[in-house]
Amino acid sequence: TTATRPETSVTRTTCGYCGVGCSLEAVTRDGALVAVLPDRRGPVNRGHACVKGRFAHGFLDSPDRLTQPLVRRGASLEPATWEEALDRAARGIQEALAAAGPQAVAAISSARATNEENYLLQKFLRVIGSNNIDNCSRLCHSPSASGLTASFGLPGGTDSFDDVEQADCFLVVGANPVEAHPVVGARLLQRVLRGARLVVADPRAVGLARNADVHLRPRPGTNVALFHGLAHTLLTESLTDPAFLRDRAAGLPELTALLTGYPPDIVAELTGVPAADLLAAARLYGQAQCPAIVYGLGVTEHLHGTDGVRALANLAILRGAVGTGRGYGVNPLRGQNNVQGASDMGALPDTLPGYGKVTDPDARARAEAVWGAPVPDRPGLRIPEMFAAARAGRLRALWVVGEDVCTTDPDSDKVAEALDACPLVVCSELFLSETARRADVVLPAAAWLEKNGTFVNFDRRFQRVRPALPPPGQARSDFDAIHALATRLGTGLGCPSPAAALAECARISPLFAGLSHHRLDREGAVPWPCPDPDQPGEAKLYTRRFATPDGRAHLSATPYLPPGEQPDDDYPLLLVTGRRWAHYNSGSMTRHSRNADLAPRDFLDLHPVDAARHGLRDGDLLGVASRHGRARLLARISEETTPGQAFCAFHFPSSGVNRLTSDHADTTTSCPEYKVTAIRLTRDDSP
């Protein structure tokens, strides 16, 4: 007998979970995935990976994976051919266009899609005459985009994570990188263990708080007051950089006047943070040689999330710690693999690829010249506006690509109502998610280990995504599905390949003009802005001037305003939502992997004081009610929370935690106020 050696191959790709952007090696043997290993050459992860990227890939061949299109017939979704599914979707879109014009058609894109897929989907919408395209950054870091743009000029983090090694003091705000961005969490911790100082600002005792010099625990919804309190101390104790403020910043007189209202004792009252801790934190940040700000959704997901980003940016500007050799600026930890890229590619209702405004005739003209079609000049609908329009009968066709909006979006009963009211819902998905269950057409999608394209990570690096495996059964990449549906509607999109799509995007967007698949294959990761093929990309921004119209960093003098929700006698606890280490977002991938054994369900964390008050023990089943809806959760007694507060993840649709959250949203960007919901508990399951 002759023994045949198994065929082993290794594919270098980029993790499809969080926004850190770890480089991974997918090892296949005889066509089956046998391991995913961290790539030592990975510029961000340097040979590390976490429990998600490394081990949560069993979902690829889960028996629950969608491998065939489904089409609604009466109350049920039934298997169909691609031809039938595309016909049904195309007919629904044509009916919507005929009944109410392009404004009746919308799409929600996501970080699950590559840059090239996001580019193609927004092009499809715009070519048929609609700017109703949005992506999941609406629900997480849209306030970062608006706040960082207003303060510095561009909608991304200011520095490269490579520079984190130089930082000697970290201010980590509203982020839990040890669980949500574990490779970043580990690198921050390593730097702290080697001597950097650490201030953590978070209502919860998140992982890094154990190693913090100062842990500030503000009441949820009081960030702006907290940041103004820190700024007050920087000013009053002369911990600012006068030359930087004179030469490179604007708005100091207005901010100075505002900050007279935020002395430590007043801020202590507003936030619950002791004045001594506030002073200690401000001094650590203010006296550091190279201070760094790293923040997460605890800053953005608020009624005044954009104000929070800007008030946080004030600290770096006052300190001269952005756009200079000193400091690691202001850097958001993007939650999802390609949420930065989805926005970069123009999957937003008001901006084209590369952030040209749809209201700007020059930006439109650049796209129109390449696309050969007019671009509508009025901003389209944001995600919450799409749902409202569907409920009102104005939106008649909605394509959801890679998002389980019924699980992840706030006030989810209203989201379900919107989908039920919309005459056509198309859903591209890996599994029969809560959203897919309500769709009229379900298109089976390829997963990140089956895709060809690029992602942009949290520090603006374009990185290649390469298929280690073909999609199962009849599943197709979103790229192919978008082409197929556009063709069915008689709309040619060009861009026959992902490489061609990025090349076309580079022609429209000066920020990405120097990028191509060929270059990324040759050089590895390249950050934007990258205006020229011979330019290495700008890892550190603003070293000469800020990208604002006057070239200066802009301080913000916006007062603190209270959150949309307050506890009262009926709803005495404040709920904060977030992520846990083994799972990722709606959990559709991690729940279908061995990670489900590590964390088999969502829990509601309660402080022992609150548990005792309600007579609760670990594992008790609770009814939880808010002013918006109800859920059932298991109690987990934990000192990670503060008395009067509760915490829950949103990884298991069955927990229904987003039935509790409100439709309050950031006044600038419509990002939901996930971090502040007033709730009450009942011991049994009938709240």
Which residues in this chain contact ligand SF4 in the complex, by CB under 6 A?
15, 17-18, 20-22, 45, 49-50, 52-53, 181-183
Residues whose CB falls within 8 Å of the CB of residue 260, separated by 6 or more in sequence, listed in order: none
Least distance to ligand SF4, CB of residue 288, Å: 26
Least distance to ligand SF4, CB of residue 18, Å: 3
In this complex, which beta carbon is closest to ligand SF4, that of residue 52 or of residue 88? Answer: 52
Least distance to ligand SF4, CB of residue 183, Å: 4
In this complex, which beta carbon is closest to ligand SF4, that of residue 449 or of residue 573? Answer: 449
What distances in angstroms separate CA 188 from CA 220, 241, 289, one per listed residue? 24, 25, 17
Least distance to ligand SF4, CB of residue 336, Å: 10
In this complex, which beta carbon is closest to ligand SF4, that of residue 22 or of residue 679? Answer: 22
CB 591 within 8 Å of CB 651: yes
Phi, psi of 83 (to 5 degrees): -60, -50
CB 226 within 8 Å of CB 271: yes
Q: How many residues does the chain have?
A: 687
CB 592 within 8 Å of CB 601: no
Name 73's bridge partners: 76
What distances in angstroms separate CA 47 from CA 22, 37, 41, 183, 371, one per listed residue? 9, 8, 7, 10, 41
Nearest to 270 by CA among 201, 219, 200, 203: 219
Least distance to ligand SF4, CB of residue 17, Å: 3
Nearest to 659 by CA among 415, 434, 416, 411: 411
Least distance to ligand SF4, CB of residue 376, Å: 36
In this complex, which beta carbon is closest to ligand SF4, that of residue 11 or of residue 558? Answer: 11
User: What is d(CA 650, CA 416) in angstroms, rounded to the nearest whole number?
Assistant: 16
CB 158 within 8 Å of CB 322: yes
In this structure, are strands 603-606 and 70-73 parallel, antiparallel, or unpaired? unpaired
What distances in angstroms separate CA 629 from CA 287, 436, 567, 662, one per listed residue? 47, 22, 15, 9
User: What is d(CA 562, CA 258) in angstroms, rounded to the nearest whole number?
Assistant: 16
Q: Could you tell me the two tokens for 309? A: 């980003």
In this complex, which beta carbon is closest to ligand SF4, that of residue 181 or of residue 366? Answer: 181
In this complex, which beta carbon is closest to ligand SF4, that of residue 56 or of residue 441? Answer: 56
In this complex, which beta carbon is closest to ligand SF4, that of residue 179 or of residue 434? Answer: 179
Least distance to ligand SF4, CB of residue 339, Å: 12
Name 454's bridge partners: 464
Least distance to ligand SF4, CB of residue 388, Å: 33
The crossing angle, in degrees rounded to 10, of helices 305-319 and 223-236 is 20
In this complex, which beta carbon is closest to ligand SF4, that of residue 54 or of residue 437? Answer: 54
Query: Which residue sits closest to ligand SF4, CB atoms considered?
Result: 53
Least distance to ligand SF4, CB of residue 455, Å: 10
Residue 19, SS3? Answer: coil
Least distance to ligand SF4, CB of residue 45, Å: 6
Nearest to 398 by CA among 436, 432, 355: 436
In this complex, which beta carbon is closest to ligand SF4, that of residue 190 or of residue 487? Answer: 190
Least distance to ligand SF4, CB of residue 507, Å: 30
- Helix and strand numbers (H, E) in the chain are 24, 26
In this complex, which beta carbon is closest to ligand SF4, that of residue 547 or of residue 598? Answer: 598
The crossing angle, in degrees rounded to 10, of helices 264-271 and 223-236 is 170
End-to-end CA distance of the chain: 69
Q: How many CA atoms lie within 13 A of 644 on its CB side?
A: 12
User: What is d(CA 102, CA 347) in angstroms, rounded to the nearest whole number?
Assistant: 16
Least distance to ligand SF4, CB of residue 43, Å: 12
In this complex, which beta carbon is closest to ligand SF4, that of residue 336 or of residue 477? Answer: 336
Q: Could you tell me the two tokens for 565? A: 């929700």
In this complex, which beta carbon is closest to ligand SF4, that of residue 595 or of residue 638? Answer: 595
